[in-house]
Structure 1
Amino acid sequence: MALALAGDIDPATGLASCANIPCLTGTPLVADLTAALGRPVVVGNDAACFVLAEATVGAARGQDTVFGIILGTGVGGGLVVDGRLVPGAGEWGHGPVVKQVAGDPSVTLARLPCGCGQAGCVDTIGGARGLERLHHALHGVRLDSQALTAAWHAGDRDATRTMDIYVDLVADPLAVVVNAVGAGLVPVGGGLSSDAALVSALDQAVRTRILRRTRGPLLVPTALGGAAGMLGAAILGVRWLERNR
């Protein structure tokens, strides 16, 4: 059995670490599931599974180096090189890297606490919940991400201001990762990836920040949709079986 998990399994201890599912943190998840189901269980990070699927049969098929990102409830990522996942790589959502001064005209923002125990992580502002928190911090109004992006498309001034600052905050750390790993393509998954204008805005912002120049888009929406994580987990499972026959 193969699963995509919104978290990681420590290869040394077998213990789970899930910033957004704290009840699983510190548990021997794979061992528990294996015992309960009576069969081998393979668990992969959900974002890593997403990237593996997109690199194998999706939007980034044929690319040598693929860094994929999830902009869903939170933020995740994974790295595939020559068709294989790089273990432990791609988790760009955590680490105190979000700048505190952003936008034009600029605004100073507090670094928000993250479920991982740090503050100022991309995960605190990069996903749908983070976008909602950002809008509330800027304007004192609570809107869900769908209403916020709809207002942006309708030309609402406050929503446009929020989206401009969001793109500025997310593009900076993403450009650093793209520079570091040399990704040929960055598939984007998660709920926010369904907004083509948002993906395009992030793509343009990232491409102005990286050293090399690309002829076409660098960030592209998922080709596999919501099935990408499951497909990636299935690929992990098949590869595990091939190694353990």
Structure 2
Amino acid sequence: MITCFDIGGTFIKAATATGPESLDLLGRLPTPRADFAAFVATIAGFIDRGGAPAGAPVAISVTGVVDPETGLVTVANIPCIDGRNLAADLGAALNRPVRVANDADCFVLAEAHAGAGRGYRVVFGAILGTGVGGGIVADGRLFRGAGGLSGEWGHGTIVATQLSVSPYQLPHFACGCGRAGCLDTVGGARGLERLHRHLHDATLNSTDIVELWIGGDEKADQTMALYIELLARPLALVVNVVGPDIIPVGGGLGNCVPLIARLDAAVRGSILRRLERPLVVPAQLTADSGLLGAAYLGLAENDHDIA
């Protein structure tokens, strides 16, 4: 048995697992963000509740970046673990082995083994949530590059400024990473809202924009046409570089089937490979993908199974 966790800036969710697809949910609690002792106590309380035996491992999906070489995590919205070797520090406090991967990596692990990527050799998992993230699984194994940054297609100055749809030109927006022109500035829910505000001087949440688009609203249609072009170009480049067989899309925007269908058509029309079947598809595992990915992470026999 292992105890697995999905740790976000607001809540910690937990479950026990005796196999990669046999989750017994333990509930969720607010994330102690500023106090590491309280953070450890919350994790320990879940372990006690789940009844894991002494020394049984812990597996964690966490928001942020996990460096596989140093073990250091970068989690700006949880200061008490930011900059720590979380696996080592938590393992010492709990007297248990601890394995940690970021949430995008756990998402793609889950989709590759039990979701839309099941049966495919190379899976690129794309997340269109608040921002943009991703991860890569090849031959069933998680690929983690130097610094833990593989699959991070949301950053780098890659957003097009010359476009084939109105308004035909677009400025680069400043990104929280310190650069400008990152896909993260326009590709997630906040990015979609930014585009709509820039085009129409109107502040709407992403859900409303999508609903208006599906209902035929002209302004929302312009926003979504621009959004899809801005996403499709870099995603097509990812396809040409990585060569995925399938791209499950998670996050809130990934739940919009018409959006993913339009994105798929735009990407398949822009890549070198010719495919008659969908390549970009909605993720199949939504509610507990972080926990399920952590279960796969924790139940791997050794480090070579996941990296």
Q: TM-score range, shorter-chain basis? A: over 0.9
What is the TM-score when the length of structure 2 is the normalising length?
Answer: 0.74
The verdict on how the C-alpha distance between 1:25 and 1:95 changes in structure 2, with shifts beyond 3 A counting, is farther
Q: Among residues 36, 51, 54, which one is paired with 2:108 in the alignment?
A: 51
List, as ranges, runs of 4+ consecutive aligned residues in structure 1 with deviation greater than 4 Å: none
Tell which deviates more after alignment, 116-125 or 34-43: 34-43
Q: Partner letter of residue 263 of structure 2?
A: L
Letter in structure 2 aligned against 1:168: E
Residue 132 of structure 2, aligned match among 75, 82, 86: 75
Aligned-residue sequence identity (percent) comes to 53
Give, in whole Å, the separation in 1 of the partners of 2:121 and 2:256: 27
**Matched ranges for 1:148-159 at <5 A:** 148-159=209-220
Length-normalised TM-score, structure 1 = 0.92
2:142 alignment partner, one of 85, 88, 105? 85
Aligned equivalents of 2:223, 2:93: Cα separation in 1:
46
Pick the aligned partner of 1:189 from 247, 250, 257: 250
1:60 CA drift (Å): 1.2
Matches within 5 A, 1:7-86: 7-18=64-75, 21=77, 23=79, 25-86=82-143
Aligned length: 241
Q: Which has the higher helix share?
A: 1
- The equivalent of 1:128 in structure 2 is 189
Unaligned runs of 5+ residues in structure 1 are none
Q: Structure 1 counterpart of 2:191, which letter?
A: G
**Larger RCO, structures 1/2 (Cα 8 Å, 6+ apart):** 1
Secondary structure of the 1:70 match is strand
Q: Which residue of 1 aligns with 2:274?
A: 213
2:59 corresponds to:
2
1:103 Cα deviation (Å)? 4.3
The structural deviation recorded for 1:36 is: 3.7
Structure 2 Cα separation of the partners of residues 111 and 30 of structure 1: 37
Structure 2 letter corresponding to 1:21:
N
> Structure 2 stretches of 5 or more lacking a match?
1-57
| 8 Å Cα contact 1:171/1:206 also seen in 2 | yes
Structure 2 SS opposite 1:108: coil
Give the C-alpha shift of residue 39 in structure 1.
Answer: 2.3
User: What amino acid maps onto 2:302 in structure 1?
Assistant: R
Shift in CA distance, 97/22, structure 1 to aligned 2, threshold 3 Å: farther
In the alignment, the residues of structure 1 paired with residue 154 and residue 119 of structure 2 have an alpha-carbon distance, to the nearest angstrom, of 26
Shift of 1:192: 0.6
For residue 25 of structure 1, report the CA deviation from its aligned partner: 4.2
Please report the RMSD computed on the Cα atoms of aligned residues, expressed in angstroms.
1.7
8 A contact 1:103–1:164 mirrored in 2: no
Equivalent AA in structure 2 for residue 157 of structure 1: E
